């Protein structure tokens, strides 16, 4: 196999680069055996790094038992995973999906069903945020705040309007008697690593309470320990009505979920929603093991210990290259540097020097490493960035 062959058969929706063949801890290896330090975690997915023995054994033993039976039956891993996720999120009921976008689809349907149950003529309007990212399926795309992602695929689902992130008044201005949900990322990822202000999150909570509508927090990227709490809304002392998770939830096994508090969850009845694969025993065994390893290996504690070192290191770089780095921002191990040069060039040069980074938008480098990252890896990355910026 070569990269040309890949481009011949794979739909060209990504400009792929390296051909990776294996991973170990914080490192990836290409087909030539070259080693790369991974600071992107496959877009904030591989929280445990690569080839974690405990994780692999749990998956292999589940494969030996049962991979799939559909949601017409009970399975132990799905119930265990649902219980763990309810406890972790503070929600009451969980629905497992196969991806982040599908978790968003379900969350939107649930919010609309709740409003419909109260009043069948409710308009089901949704307020989303500019610069948000919620996924590529039609519903998720409809609430994604980047126009050029949406435009070619219209008409999307109706009744969506976009407010300005961190501007409570802009949300209030869009509220109507038909509004059924406000959806946002607790920390915007793809849109450029923008954390929410406490006033904004708390203000939205109060607004949703006042109107009895759903506050949907998308924690697909910022959740599962990335910002130093299991879910980022915990930093704000606020609980959503519906939360979406995916990415690091399965640490590489494709799985997502939306979870809701009882009041909203009760709106869904048999026949309202479904999935053939969602939450199958293999996927949910992965979730159970992820939670187990997080606990055993004190992952949250580690994130809180190591994140300040990443922030300090990035600030040191920013001080050294004020003409190239405009700002460092983020929470925990979800950091971004805003550049005055194209991020793509920096990412490409870092890759040549053996460091995997990902961008967010055109001028932001996003740092979402495996949560097992150590100081030595951050030093190594900064050395490479230093030499790239110096060129």
Ligand X SMILES: *Cc1c(COP(=O)(O)O)cnc(C)c1O
Residues near ligand X (CB under 6 A): 99-101, 104, 133-135, 185, 189-190, 218, 220-221, 246-247
Supply the minimum distance, in Å, between the C-beta of residue 388 and ligand X: 26
Closer of 365 and 388 to ligand X (Cβ): 365
Number of other CB atoms surrounding residue 363 within 10 Å: 18
Torsion angle defined by CA atoms of residues 53, 58, 59 and 63, in that order, rounded to the nearest 10 degrees = 130
Q: 45 with 247: CB under 8 angstroms? A: yes
Rounded to an integer, what distance in angstroms lies between the CA atom of residue 114 and that of residue 215? 12
Number of other CB atoms surrounding residue 266 within 10 Å: 14
Supply the minimum distance, in Å, between the C-beta of residue 253 and ligand X: 12
Closer of 109 and 317 to ligand X (Cβ): 109
Supply the minimum distance, in Å, between the C-beta of residue 189 and ligand X: 5
Supply the minimum distance, in Å, between the C-beta of residue 204 and ligand X: 16
Supply the minimum distance, in Å, between the C-beta of residue 205 and ligand X: 19
**Position of minimal CB gap to ligand X:** 100
Closer of 124 and 191 to ligand X (Cβ): 191
H-run or E-run covering 301: helix 299-320
Number of other CB atoms surrounding residue 63 within 10 Å: 12
Closer of 179 and 245 to ligand X (Cβ): 245
Supply the minimum distance, in Å, between the C-beta of residue 222 and ligand X: 7
Supply the minimum distance, in Å, between the C-beta of residue 1 and ligand X: 25
Answer positive or negative: Cα dihedral of 17, 18, 23, 28.
negative
Supply the minimum distance, in Å, between the C-beta of residue 63 and ligand X: 22
Closer of 107 and 381 to ligand X (Cβ): 107
DSSP of 106-167: HHHHHHHHHHHHH-TT---EEEEETT----SSHHHHHT---HHHHGGG-S--SSEEEEPTT-
Q: Which residues contact 146 (CB under 8 A, 6 or more apart)?
A: 131, 132, 133, 190, 191
Structure tokens at 186: 């607790």
Closer of 125 and 185 to ligand X (Cβ): 185
Residue 72 has φ and ψ, to the nearest 5°, of -80, -10
Closer of 13 and 15 to ligand X (Cβ): 13
Closer of 129 and 311 to ligand X (Cβ): 129
Q: What are the respective helix, strand and coil percentages of the chain, to the nearest 5?
A: 40, 20, 40
């Amino acid at each position: 196999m070569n990269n040309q062959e890949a481009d011949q058969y794979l739909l060209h929706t990504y400009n792929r680069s390296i051909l990776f063949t294996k991973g170990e801890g914080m490192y990836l290896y290409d087909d030539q055996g070259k080693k790369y330090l991974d600071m992107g975690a496959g877009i904030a997915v591989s929280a445990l790094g690569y080839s974690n023995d405990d994780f692999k054994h749990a998956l292999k033993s589940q494969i030996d038992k049962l991979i799939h039976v559909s949601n017409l039956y009970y399975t132990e891993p799905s119930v265990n995973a649902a219980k763990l996720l309810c406890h972790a999120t503070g929600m009451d009921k969980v629905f497992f999906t196969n991806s982040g976008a599908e978790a968003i689809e379900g969350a939107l349907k649930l919010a609309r069903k709740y409003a419909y149950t109260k009043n069948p003529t409710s308009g089901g309007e949704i307020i989303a945020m500019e610069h948000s990212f919620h996924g590529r399926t039609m519903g998720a795309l409809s609430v994604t705040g980047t126009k050029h992602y949406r435009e070619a695929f219209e008409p999307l689902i109706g009744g969506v309007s976009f407010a300005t992130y961190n501007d409570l008044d802009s949300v209030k201005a869009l509220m109507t008697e038909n509004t059924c949900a406000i959806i946002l990322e607790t920390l915007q990822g793809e849109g450029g690593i923008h954390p929410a202000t406490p006033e904004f999150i708390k203000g939205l909570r109060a607004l949703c309470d006042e109107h009895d509508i759903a506050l949907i927090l998308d924690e697909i990227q910022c959740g599962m320990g990335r910002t130093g709490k299991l879910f980022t809304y915990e930093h704000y002392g606020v609980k959503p009505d519906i939360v979406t998770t995916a990415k690091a939830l399965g640490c590489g096994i494709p799985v997502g979920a939306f979870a809701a508090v009882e009041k909203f969850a009760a709106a869904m009845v048999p026949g309202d929603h479904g999935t053939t694969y969602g939450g199958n025993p293999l996927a949910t065994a992965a979730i159970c093991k992820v939670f187990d390893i997080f606990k055993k290996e004190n992952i949250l504690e580690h994130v809180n210990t190591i994140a300040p070192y990443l922030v300090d290191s990035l600030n040191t770089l920013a001080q050294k290259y004020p003409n190239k780095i405009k700002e460092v921002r983020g929470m925990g191990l979800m950091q971004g540097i805003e550049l005055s040069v194209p991020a793509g060039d920096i990412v490409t040069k870092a890759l040549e020097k053996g460091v995997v980074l990902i961008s967010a938008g055109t001028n932001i480098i996003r740092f979402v490493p495996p949560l097992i990252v150590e100081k030595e890896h951050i030093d190594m990355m900064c050395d490479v960035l230093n030499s790239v910026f110096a060129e």
